[in-house]
Amino acid sequence: MGLKLDFSEKQKSEMDSDDKNISSIHFSHSSGSSQAPSARELEIKIGTIKRLIRDLSVYKEELKTEEDRYLKWKEDGEDEYVLRKQKQVINECWRMIPDTERRLAYALEKLRQDQMEGKITEEDIFCVETMVKEAGIVIEHSR
């Protein structure tokens, strides 16, 4: 029950040359550049916080817009079905806010842990503190 593979001489020589080429491959994240992944991770974490802050702001604005639309439609005597559907839209908007706040709090906690563990350079600490303050203000006003 063996598997018999018949390769032509050309295929065998190509495989041999591929084996030689593989040994010359070097990865960019080898042990010589240990700082790069850390800086990249920090950049990703800060970008995540910025995105979550922006998302939270957009969700709150959308909630206000949808509530205003509902009130206007209600005053205008819009159909009950349309009003119920608009209430569903408002509820969906409302549910996005606590979830985004939770994800933002988690991202901030991870960033604070990195700061406490000394994984962040002195140059980056200022940026981190600014982000934490900015996010703290957003969370504070959203409750």
Each residue's pLDDT expressed in tens, for the chain with a length of 143 residues: 443 434 455 545 554 554 443 333 332 333 344 444 577 888 888 889 889 988 988 999 999 999 999 999 999 999 999 999 999 999 999 999 999 999 988 988 888 888 788 777 767 777 767 776 776 666 665 55
Distances in whole angstroms, Cα of residue 11 to Cα of each of 7, 22, 24: 6, 17, 21
> How do the residues of the chain divide into helix, strand and coil, expressed in percent and rounded to 5?
80, 0, 20
Domain ranges of the chain: 36-142
Quote the distance between the C-alpha of residue 80 and its chain's center: 39
Give me the CATH topology for the region 36-142. Methane Monooxygenase Hydroxylase; Chain G, domain 1 (1.20.58)
Q: Which two tokens stand for residue 97?
A: 């806010």
